[in-house]
Structure 1
Amino acid sequence: MYQTELHDEEFSRFQRWLHHTAGIELSSTKKALVASRLAKRLCHYELDSYDDYFQLIMNDRSSELQLALDLLTTNETYFFREPKHFEFLAREIIATLPPDQKLRVWSAASSSGEEPYSLAMTLAEKRSAFNWEILASDISSRVLEQAMSGRYPIERAQNIPQPFLLKYCLKGVGLQEGSFIIERKLRDKVQFMQINLNQDLPDIGMFDVIFIRNVMIYFNKETKGQVLQRLLPRLKPGGYLLVSHSESLHGLPHGLRLVSPSIYQKG
């Protein structure tokens, strides 16, 4: 039977691995979370220790390694989180661009899709369907699968403005009762891609707006700086970068202009 205790030296191995792989800093307060999230995998493989599981994922560079990464990355999110950002997008960015100018937005820590679909609803209200697109990326393949489905429990709809809920969401019936799904036309406007911000970025082009919210908080200062240096070349001159209200780029080399708290513009 697998052990229920995660020893300090075992936890340290997972800390170092997660920081090296994803840039995420796991504090000592997360020890119980790591133990609980990985316990079922120990049981699945009938392993005697967390160290045995660590050795297993180090020798498995495919499915189980990705699953462990999925389990240990935090993915709490909800629709229209920090609504002032969506108001700024609609009022200060979309409204000031020529209607024929294509707008590209990157949700760089998209989790299970609530942020990019919130962006899509905002854009769909203000722009024609042909001149905007959204890239949504995350390190976790598990949450990206959920995001691509566009289906959520009905209680997740509570922060969606009522007009958007009626216009862009379909309530499940029959076997799908208790859930809702983002309408197909809106889902088709969002491209999902697995991207690790702690590694060199793939060729994804340039963006007018980059949302990088509620992820920098998990990085140390050095990693934050490295991630920024990967993101900034992807931001067009005059483009905007938005972080969470609980985050700041203070003390980091970025060369951006602070427009308002948590909103930055490239010169």
Structure 2
Amino acid sequence: MLGATISDNEFDRLRRFFEGASGIKLADSKKVLVCGRLSKRLRHWGLQTYREYIDFIEAKGHEDERQTAVDLLTTNETHFFREPKHFDFLREELARMQRTGLKGSLRLWSAASSTGEEAYSLAMTLAETLGDRPWQIFASDLSTKVLDDARRAIYPAVRADEVPRPLAVKYLLEGFDEYEGYYRVEPGLRKRVSFAQVNLMEPLPAMEPFDMIFLRNVLIYFDNAGKKKIVESLVRRLKPGGLLFIGHSETLGGITDVVKPVVPTIYRLP
């Protein structure tokens, strides 16, 4: 099996599998990436070709390996306080909401949370801005592996260094012994964030509406039809006047007008 290459037909089958599972279409240029990420799974199961692996994951009873393949093929680039202008806007919006009379519990959704850095960045921001007011964050991803990492909330020092020092001192616990060089989000903050698997291309689970949804750096992986489907599905979970945040390299121009631009990459539901 060592040195196994993937044929065009095998790649097409894997591409159809991944699109069916995630809604994401793998470009021809991703063939090397696919081989790099899945080759260890062939060795793990003692399979000789990618055709055998595709047959294996599509067979009944192999749901866990199907999820493993999805996890491996999913891109999970993330950082604490990524795209800081969004957090500046969030603080300003929270201050405005408090001045005008914030009622009930504030609800935010990190809709592609990856390993949790975005969700915990939002949690730190809410904790600092809202004080004792009630709030909660729901975070989701397609990959069960990254969700497990997010729930553990343990990060290497290089990631913890992305957190502003005053917040790191307050919300990150330094590890010792076998966890030396790692930091964990403190328990009080962790309990305010819940995680669950959600496929944004499928009908969404029942949930109470949100004040804000963060859908950042997700739409770049979908064609226009997929973008429209995801956005119009998610905004049905927004409260009237709620905000939708997308990534700085993304736009909803020509995709949908169900939300209206406030500033670039931030939209409001009328």
Matches within 5 A, 1:29-68: 29-59=29-59, 60-68=61-69
Distance in 2 between residues matched to 1:226 and 1:2, nearest whole Å: 41
Per the normalisation by structure 2, the TM-score is: 0.95
1:38-94 residue CA offsets vs partner (Å, 9 max, x unmatched): 000000111110111011111145210111110000001110000111111111234
Distance in 1 between residues matched to 2:18 and 2:252, nearest whole Å: 22
1:13 is matched with 13
**Counterpart residue identity of residue 185, structure 1:** G
TM-superposed deviation, 1:213: 0.6
2:242 is matched with 239
Aligned match of 1:226 in 229, 242, 255?
A: 229
**Counterpart residue identity of residue 176, structure 1:** Y
Distance in 2 between residues matched to 1:100 and 1:203, nearest whole Å: 22
Aligned partners of 1:228 and 1:254 also within 8 Å: no
1:241-262 residue CA offsets vs partner (Å, 9 max, x unmatched): 0000001111112321101110
SS at match of 2:234: helix
The answer to whether residue 258 in structure 2 is matched with residue 259 in structure 1 is no
Cα distance change, pair 185–53 in 1 and its aligned pair in 2 (3 A): same
Alpha-carbon RMSD across the aligned residues, in angstroms, is 1.3
2:80 is matched with 79
TM-superposed deviation, 1:4: 2.1
Range 10-19 or range 218-227, more displaced? 10-19
Q: Would you say how many aligned residue pairs link Structure 1 and Structure 2?
A: 267
1:178-232 residue CA offsets vs partner (Å, 9 max, x unmatched): 1000000000000101000010000121000000011111011111111112101
Moved over 3 A (4+): none
Distance in 1 between residues matched to 2:214 and 2:55, nearest whole Å: 36
Range 59-68 or range 164-173, more displaced? 59-68
Structure 1 unaligned blocks of 5 or more: none
Distance in 2 between residues matched to 1:50 and 1:129, nearest whole Å: 54
Distance in 2 between residues matched to 1:238 and 1:2, nearest whole Å: 56
Aligned partners of 2:108 and 2:210 also within 8 Å: yes
2:23 is matched with 23
SS at match of 1:146: helix
TM-superposed deviation, 1:119: 0.2
TM-superposed deviation, 1:128: 3.1
1:105 is matched with 108
